[in-house]
Every structure is written in structure tokens, then in C-alpha cells.
Structure 1
Amino acid sequence: MCADRTPRAAQKPLRVVLCWHMHQPQYRDVVNRSYRLPWTYLHAIKDYEDMVAHLEDAPDAKAVVNFAPVLLEQIDDYAQQVREYLQGGQEIRDPLLATLAAERMPEDIADRRRLAEACLRANESHLIEAYPHFHVLAQMVRWLRDQPAGFRYQSEAFFADLVTWYHLAWLGETVRRRNKRVQALLDKGQGFSRGDRLELLGIIGGLLDGLLPRYRRLAEAGRVELAFSPYAHPIMPLLLDLQVAREAVPDALLPDVRGYPGGEERVRWHLQRGLETFEHYFGHRPAGCWPSEGGISTATVRLLAEHGMRWTASGENVLVNSLREAGELDENGERTWLHRPYRLEGADTLCFFRDDGLSDAIGFRYADWHSDDAVGEFIHHLENIAAGASPDTVVSVILDGENAWEYYPANGYHFLTSLYRRLAAHPGIRLCTFAECVDELSRPPQLSRIVAGSWVYGSFSTWIGDEDKNRGWALLVQAKQRLDELIREGRLGGERLEQALEQLAICEGSDWCWWFGDYNPADVVGDFEALYRHHLSVLYGLMDEPAPEALGQVLAHGSGHPAAGGTMRHGSAGQD
């Protein structure tokens, strides 16, 4: 396990992989096709748009971009909705986006209040206060919270300007800087007509339409590696065996169930459906998989290898736990064990592990730094790693590609511009992809087994192990058991069964239990636990079964104020 101390001058540049993971859960009701929360299209026009633009602007840089397949489908669906509305007047099935295009603003007081509250769900410093007109409107909404009868007396112009500014604020910085139609709307500032709002809707539709093809073109040009997660973003190791939660946390409190029934079959379903969806949008089979939340186990990696994945990745603490169990962890050295891939015995898939310090610095520390200082410090850390590097060294920087940027000025524009430019120009650093590393590193060290865990703390404590999360799992197991019974009895088949299996997949997604817990904000917990209960209720409807009474009861109440509003976590415990 000792590093090769070849003099730096005789070595090749340090391999650095920037891996951005993009995912949202399913916000769409599979029965009526309407959206209950707007986060997919808002992140698409802001973060996914800016991320692809920065990569297009940096021809000498490379990165890995990972998509959850259920997100790809939603982006495509939104693009189609806007296109069909503008061409033929078909209904837009997202209430907030539909209001932007509406002929009239809501008249009912409750509807007006819901719209006003929805338009305040944005970063205060960078998405509201940055725009004086929007800031004034937001202050008025806050006053109206204490004087709700006042919603009756607000003009249509108030709500039209509010919903217009909300969408202008959520546009990517690259769009605001480069699109003259957007600049004209920003300059107008107030008194937006329906024509203005339709103009903005057309801009949004164009962004949604072009988004996935742009990522595909970058991949076809060899400038980006595209990767995937299993279809609806489930925690695969827990579906395979709930007991693996105790490998990293031996005293974890688990749900009072025997396990997740038919878990391996479900994991295979998510992998196969995810691969099919990825190929549909990008035209090729991915070489690698960022498993949902970096959740891996020995059994999970073997399944990924069986599905032809050349690489996968997880968190630093998963590697720490695995090396420590094997007695191979050097806890006093230079951590050269972290910056290299490993191969699980008996599997061909290479496993890369996230550098928590570097990844979390981008996710949390650098947001309020000057971009040159932040990138300078980041590069300094890489230079220190390079000084002790060996020929097989790979630094894996893996993080959320959508939620960090609203905490940066200008949606991270200055930071990302500088990051790509300076890394690509550095003679001692080589930006590359995981697939390229697999091609170059044919004899990585082996792991006899993997101590199951995720990129968050090296465990699954974010998804299982407390009362609220365990209740969520118990309700899911109950629904799966009933579905299995109906299939065995021959009472569910054909298209109805296919719909039920897709709905089950949505309920198996990781996001629901992520949010359960008092440490998260109450409003977000309320949104996600209600949507989870709704999705489970829809599943029972597809089974033509009554939903359990428990689905009518609130599962979790949040009261916390975690970093980044709970949308992101640090890789190591004690940081959040």
C-alpha cells in the first residue's frame, strides 16, 4: 500500500476527476401527469443550464456528469409541455409554470397566498435581494403574511410581476449574461404584460429543449463522460439487505421488518430501466454508475459488475471502514490510500472514492470566498497531493451539481469559470474522466470486501435508523408485500402491473427518507413527506386497494436549520 516516490518531474500530471451528480426525485403524479413541486424545471433552467454552458466554454477541461434517469424523463416532459402549450395551447401540468403563462392571475385568496409563498422559495441573498424589484415584491409578501386579508386587494400586476421575477431570478447566470431577450425583461423591471410572460416562457422552453442534446454533444466530442444512477435513485444496498446498515453502525435501530422483499429483483429493475432511459437520451451505454448517494456494498458492486459497469464510486469513509476492517488502513500517513481506485475481489468494476475535504470545500466552504482565492486554495491542495503522488494516483472530487450554486454569487459563475480555466491550464494537473482512468490503471489494489455505506458519513444513517425514517421504510415494505401478493394471486397484470412497478420504483427513491428527521427544515420536510405518502397512496390505487390509514397521518416534522437548507450534507460526521 506504499506510494511510489518517483520524483515529481518524472511523473505525469496528477489525474483529477470532477464528477457532478444531478438528480431530483419524481415530482410527477404518474396517473394525472401533474407536478406537485417545481424543482426539476427550476434547477434545469438555472443549474443544469449553467453547468453545461461552463463546460462548453472550457474546451480544454473535462468532467463526469451523472444523471438520475427519472430526472432525464422529467426534463424531457417539461420541454414537451412548454412546446405543446406554445404551439397548440395544451395544458401545462405544473401549477407554478402554468401561472407564468396564464391569461389571468389567481383571484381566490388561498390561491394567491400559495402563489406568493411559492415565489419566495429562493435564496434570499443571491436570488431575491440581488434584484431590487424582486426584493420589494418579496417584502410585500412578507407583510401580507401577517395581513392575509390584504391578498384580496393586491392587483393582478402585483402577482404577474412576482411570478415573472421569480422565474427571472431562477435563470442561470450564463443565460442572464448572454440572452438579449432576458436582458430586456430585466431592464423593464416591472409592469410585465402577458406577452412578456409568454416571451419568458418561450425562453424557458428553449432552455429545456436544448439541455440534454447539449450534454450529449459534449459526450460525443469526448469532452464529458456521462454516467447514470439507478432509475429512481434507490439506496441499492438497503433494498438488497436492510441489515447492511449495521456494518458501519452496529447499533443502528432498524425497522421491525424482515427485510425488503424481493430486493435484488428490484435493484435489477432499477439498473436495467436506468440503462434503457440513459441510452434513449444519450445514444450510448454508460461506462460507469454513481450509485444513489454513493451507496455501495459488496453485493451492490457485484451487481454493477454483472451489468457491465466499468467503474463506480462512493465516499471516503466507506473506504476508511473497509480498509480498517481489513487491517490495511494507514491512519498516520499521507492518505495515499484514498487517491486511487480499488477492485473488489471477484468483480471487474473499479471503485473510486470521494475526497471529502476537496469535495466539501466546493459544496460548503468556498461559496463566500473570492473566486480566485477559492480556486487558488483548491489548486494548492492538489499540488500537495501531487508532491507525494504515485503513477496510479487519482483525485476524485464528487458532489451535487445543482444545489451548491445558489449559495455562491452569480450562481457560481466566477468560481466555475476560474476553476475550469486554471485547472485545465495547470501543467501539473490533468482533468480526466473515470472511464479514462479505468483504461490507464489495469492493476489497482484489491478489497476483499466493502463495508456497506454511502458518501454521507460512510453509513446509511441519513436514510434509516431513527423512528421517522424507519416508519417510512415500514410503509414501503407493507406496500411491496401487498403488491407481491396480488401478483402471486394473478390479480394484477399487463399495463396496470407495469404502472404499479414504476410507481413502486418512485416510492423506493432515496429522497423521501433523506428528509425525514427533526434536523431538517419544517417546510421542506412537510413537502417531501406529503409527496411520499401521496406516491404510496397512488401505488395502492393502482393495485385497486385501499390505502392504509397511516398514509393519512404525517410521518415527520422538521425543525432544524442545517447547512444549505438540508439539500446537501458533508461527507464526514460532525460537519453539518
Structure 2
Amino acid sequence: MASDIKTPVVICWHMHQPSYEDMRTGQFLFPWVYLHTIKDYSDMAAHLEHEPQARAVVNFAPILLEQIETYLVQIERWRHGAGDIGDPLLAALVAEELPETGTPAFLGLMEKSLRANPDRIIKRYPAYARLAELADVYRKKPELQRYISSRFLSDLLVWYHLGWMGESIRRENNCIQSLQEKAYNFSTDDRRALLNVIFDVLSGIGPRYRHLAQIGQVELSVSPYTHAMLPLLLELESAREAMPEIILPAHRVYPGGSEQASWQLQEAKAVFQRFFGIAPAGCWASEGGLSQATLALLNEHGFQWTASGDSVIHNSLNRAREDNPELPDSGNHQPYTFGDSPVSVFFRDDGLSDLIGFTYADWHAKDAVGDLVHHMENIAGQARGASRPVISVIMDGENAWEYYPENGFHFLDELYTVLAHHPKLKLTTYADLVSQPVAAPVHLPHLVAGSWIYGTFSTWIGDPDKNRAWDLLCEAKVHYDRVMGNGNLSAEQKESARKQLAVCEGSDWFWWFGDYNPAQIVSDFEHLYRRHLVNLYEMIGYPAPPSVFHQLSQGSGEPARGGAMRPGHEVDKPV
């Protein structure tokens, strides 16, 4: 069969948001879970549904799935008068009364309703753009604020949610289309109808991806429960493997890290099973963070494959050549195994993935896909001998698309159409490549610990601000261990505390600390990290030390695409 000689291509989308929920109050401090769900996770399913011959791997962080579920529960309880919606923006969308103009509450909701890409979202809709202009007047001329109607905020809230709506929904949903045509003076019924659409999209995410998995279009995989960096939980010193001179936190060991890392995987599998009814074959370890100890742990929990960035395999090949100078360079387009671990490891083509993340947003869709596929054809054509390459494109499923016209609709449609029917390339999944390999994995004695970013852990540790955050976590873990062992907490209290600890272990807090990140986002995530730590101390009945309240990081930079994404290499070059 012709397909038997095609070069396998795996597109792996990683769906991930950290915990924005205050577990003690049920309040969401930021709206990114439900906004990315209605905009991105829904669109990504729709593109696969539209092209039945396309296949992909879709990886979910369990803490994201649980937060989607919490939104559904809160909305349903609100509908029945049994509770409030815990997200201030979503609650404001359907509030009977909005804050008065001139109040801090009014200003806060106004500013939050403008946190959208100005070129691709706000300016796309004339009515939204006019509201943004009026908001600028509101800021600059406070003496005029008293004359601005509350209708302004009501319409702004509607347009914010319309702007964040997925393109597939926008093109097919009659309610969304009628609201866009109405454009202004939205009624309470309009706003509640919009909430109903949001609820329907949120409730459909699990069933839609479960169905795509059942018919074989999608392989679903999982990350550690709260997207924790497993290699660093296991061994902070593993950061030295790729960066021997890195400065580590004062606490050189995360207390009880092995047990906690194992629990992160155990809990991830339980949540995944509950949502999708299957056991995952693969694990995208958070941020592609791997080490030899992490591979052993993944194998212990029954995972058959994992993946990382191509700098990790280059570092590992260079290390292997120190003992075996004649070792050939088998490159990043092959599966590997390392040491005693049987887990197959695949490696991201950073050049191809970063073209999607950072370059193609401003290209015409056909030109962008044509260029990407041309690079893939070159890789396939360079294969020598019996071994065929495996081309891996791995990236976030949400962050790139707000920089594309119409949420990447045309690019993704063209991408799946071309690859699904390509004569020499074949979309497949990692599970299929493990069960029916195109070549035996290349074996190396040791994997050099690192992540998909630069092949190091420098994005999460080593910077003074990041190290202070680790020291706060390590200190909290010491107190947590003492309290958990003294028998003063009930089983239910211990379970809540353990989940709160896991939230504090999430990778995102450490990602954002550092002067090279935008000041507002650093402030947001530092506030959230502190809140989670304080909640942990309250749950274990131990007073939070003063160090928790000292500022960690300030931020002043503006990385590519607003900092939500980073290239895999310091200086990235196309394949």
C-alpha cells in the first residue's frame, strides 16, 4: 500500500492552563480557562471533525479539565439559584446590575474586558473597536466618567466574549451571529443567551474529544496533574546536567519530591480516566521536561511514550559521544530509548513547530502550509537506509492562534487538508508508532535532563527570582510534611491540602518570574502563586511566614508573542 511508504508526521497539541481557582473560595482569579475553551479547544476539535482523514495527538493537563468542570457546575448552580458564578467576568456578563461608572469595580471590569489582541480581535469588529476608543476616553478624562452610561460596560462585556469566541462557533451558531449583527444595546436576555452558548461549548469539550479518540482520529494523552516539572521535583540538581554552572535555590532538594512526583502522575491518570474513559498511553511531561529518573517514573506508571524538544536529544547524543566518539548522529527525527527505560521518547522538530508559533501568523494560509510541508518533504527526502524519519510538530493548542487572522481558521483548515491527503506524508499518532514502529528506537545510555526550551531548565530555575520561588515552595513543603504526619488533620483535610500543594508545584509560576517577562503578567502570576501558598498554609493550620509576602519578581520585558510562547532554541532557524 502507498501509505506504508509514507513518512509519518505527528502533530501534538498540548492543552494547558494552570489553576486560576482559589480553592478556598471557589473564585477564579483569571478567566483564561473558559476563554481558551470557547476560542481554542473548541476550534481545535472542529478542525479535526471537519477533516475526517486528519489525525493528531491532543494532550490535556488534568487541572485544566477539572477547572472546565468547575465552571459547568457553577453555571448550572447559578441557573437554579443555588450559587454564584465564581468568575467575575462571567458573572458580570449576566449580572442584573453592574457597578456604577467612576467606581474601581467599573474600571476593573472595563480593563479586563479589553484584554484581547487589539489587531486580531478588537479591531476586527467595529463595534468592539468603538467601545475600546470610549474606554480610552474614560481613562484619560475622569471628569467625564459620570456621564457614561452603564450600557457601555454591558455592551463591552458582550463584545469581549464575542471576540474570544471560536471561529467555528462564530460561523455556525445562530445566536452568536445575531448578537454580532445587533452590535450594541444588548439586553439581559442577550447576555444570558450568550452564557448559554458558553455553557454548551464548555460542556461539549470532553464528549467531542472522547468521540474523536473513539473513532481513531485523535490519540489523547496527559500531563502531570498540575503541570509540575517532574525532573525538578525528583532532583533539583538535574538542572546541572545541561547547565553545570547554574545557580540553584538555597534548598537543594525538594522534600519528598519522589513521592509527590509519583502522586502527580497517579492523580493525572485518575482524572484522565474519569473524563475520557480510557487509560493514556503517553505523557507529555510538563514542558517536555525529562530526566533519566523521570523516564523511570513514567515507566513505573505504565506510560509507553513521552516527548521533548530537539535540544534534549542533541545534548544526549553529545554526552554519549564522550564515551563513544564514533557514534553516528541519528538526529531528532527518530524515536529513542535511554538507559534501562523502555519508554519511547520522541523529539519535537523545534524549527517546524516554531514556524507555526512565531512566523506564519502573518502569512497567507496556503503559503504558510506550503512552506511547512516543503520542509517536511525535505526531511522525508533526506532519509537514508531502511529507517524512516518521524516528524514531530509539538506546540500549545491555544496561544498561537490569537495572532493569526480569524483564530488560525484558514491555516489549520489548510494544514489538515494538505497533510491528510499528501502522497508522501502520513498523519499518525505516537501510540501507533509505538505499537507499529517504522523503525526500532535508537538506544542511548543516558538522557541529559532538560526541557523543550533550549534543552535546559533555565526557564524555571536558576534565575534569582525563580530560585526564591522554589525556596518558598520547599519551605512550605517542610511544614506540610510535619503537619501531615502529626495526625491532626482529617482524611478530607489532608486530601484538600495535598491538592493545594500540587497546585503550588505547577510549572507556570516559575515560568513567569524574571525581569525578561512583561510586568503586568509577572504581577498577576506572582499574586496567584502567593494566594496558593497562603491557602496551603491555612489548610495545614500553620501561619504563613513573612517571606511569602515579600515581592519575588518585577518584570520589565516583552518576549515574542507576549511571552505566552517561547521558541525552542535561543536563535531559531527553519529546517
TM-score, scaled to structure 2: 0.96
For residues 151 and 112 of structure 1, the distance between their equivalents in structure 2, rounded to whole angstroms, comes to 10
- Structure 1 equivalent of residue 122 of structure 2: 128
- Structure 2 equivalent of residue 163 of structure 1: 157
Aligned residues: 569
Q: 1:395 aligns with which of 391, 398, 415?
A: 391
- Structure 2 equivalent of residue 426 of structure 1: 422
Question: Do residues 191 (structure 1) and 185 (structure 2) align?
Answer: yes
- Structure 2 equivalent of residue 312 of structure 1: 306
Flag the 1:340–1:84 CA change in 2: closer, same or farther, 3 A: same
For residues 375 and 489 of structure 1, the distance between their equivalents in structure 2, rounded to whole angstroms, comes to 59
For residues 202 and 489 of structure 1, the distance between their equivalents in structure 2, rounded to whole angstroms, comes to 47
Q: 2:351 aligns with which of 344, 357, 361?
A: 357
For residues 308 and 510 of structure 1, the distance between their equivalents in structure 2, rounded to whole angstroms, comes to 23
- Structure 2 equivalent of residue 488 of structure 1: 485
For residues 320 and 541 of structure 1, the distance between their equivalents in structure 2, rounded to whole angstroms, comes to 45
Q: Does the residue aligned with 2:22 lie in a helix, a strand or coil?
A: coil
Q: Does the residue aligned with 2:342 lie in a helix, a strand or coil?
A: coil
- Residues 19 and 398 in structure 1, CA contact (< 8 A), matched pair in contact too: yes
TM superposition shift of 1:77:
1.3
TM superposition shift of 1:197:
0.4
Flag the 1:497–1:468 CA change in 2: closer, same or farther, 3 A: same
- Residues 14 and 393 in structure 1, CA contact (< 8 A), matched pair in contact too: yes
Q: 2:243 aligns with which of 220, 232, 249?
A: 249
Question: Do residues 509 (structure 1) and 503 (structure 2) align?
Answer: no
- Structure 1 equivalent of residue 440 of structure 2: 443
- Residues 380 and 388 in structure 2, CA contact (< 8 A), matched pair in contact too: no
For residues 535 and 514 of structure 2, the distance between their equivalents in structure 1, rounded to whole angstroms, comes to 24
- Residues 112 and 151 in structure 1, CA contact (< 8 A), matched pair in contact too: no
TM superposition shift of 1:238:
0.4
Cα RMSD for the two superposed structures: 2.0
TM superposition shift of 1:329:
12
TM superposition shift of 1:574:
3.4
Which residues in structure 2 correspond to 1:137-216 (within 5 Å)?
Answer: 137-216=131-210
TM superposition shift of 1:61:
0.5
For residues 185 and 455 of structure 2, the distance between their equivalents in structure 1, rounded to whole angstroms, comes to 52
Q: C-alpha deviations, 1:199-219, integer Å up to 9, x for none? A: 101111110111111000000
- Structure 2 equivalent of residue 118 of structure 1: 112
For residues 309 and 342 of structure 1, the distance between their equivalents in structure 2, rounded to whole angstroms, comes to 15
Question: Do residues 405 (structure 1) and 401 (structure 2) align?
Answer: yes
- Residues 226 and 286 in structure 1, CA contact (< 8 A), matched pair in contact too: yes
TM superposition shift of 1:76:
1.3
For residues 520 and 209 of structure 1, the distance between their equivalents in structure 2, rounded to whole angstroms, comes to 34
Q: 1:228 aligns with which of 212, 222, 226?
A: 222
For residues 334 and 14 of structure 1, the distance between their equivalents in structure 2, rounded to whole angstroms, comes to 21
- Structure 2 equivalent of residue 546 of structure 1: 543
- Structure 2 equivalent of residue 6 of structure 1: none
- Structure 2 equivalent of residue 4 of structure 1: none
Question: Do residues 323 (structure 1) and 317 (structure 2) align?
Answer: yes
- Residues 101 and 198 in structure 1, CA contact (< 8 A), matched pair in contact too: yes
For residues 547 and 132 of structure 2, the distance between their equivalents in structure 1, rounded to whole angstroms, comes to 37
TM superposition shift of 1:257:
1.1
Q: Does the residue aligned with 1:455 lie in a helix, a strand or coil?
A: coil
For residues 575 and 150 of structure 1, the distance between their equivalents in structure 2, rounded to whole angstroms, comes to 49
- Residues 231 and 293 in structure 2, CA contact (< 8 A), matched pair in contact too: yes
Structure 1 window deviating more from structure 2 (334-343 vs 167-176): it is 334-343
- Structure 2 equivalent of residue 100 of structure 1: 93
TM superposition shift of 1:518:
1.0
Q: Does the residue aligned with 1:465 lie in a helix, a strand or coil?
A: coil
- Structure 2 equivalent of residue 303 of structure 1: 297
Amino-acid identity (%) = 52
- Structure 2 equivalent of residue 90 of structure 1: 83
Question: Do residues 12 (structure 1) and 1 (structure 2) align?
Answer: no
Q: Does the residue aligned with 1:538 lie in a helix, a strand or coil?
A: helix
Residue identity matched to 2:526:
E
Structure 1 unmatched runs, 5+: 1-8
Flag the 1:160–1:306 CA change in 2: closer, same or farther, 3 A: same
Question: Do residues 61 (structure 1) and 54 (structure 2) align?
Answer: yes
Q: Does the residue aligned with 1:300 lie in a helix, a strand or coil?
A: helix
Residue identity matched to 2:542:
E
For residues 421 and 366 of structure 2, the distance between their equivalents in structure 1, rounded to whole angstroms, comes to 14
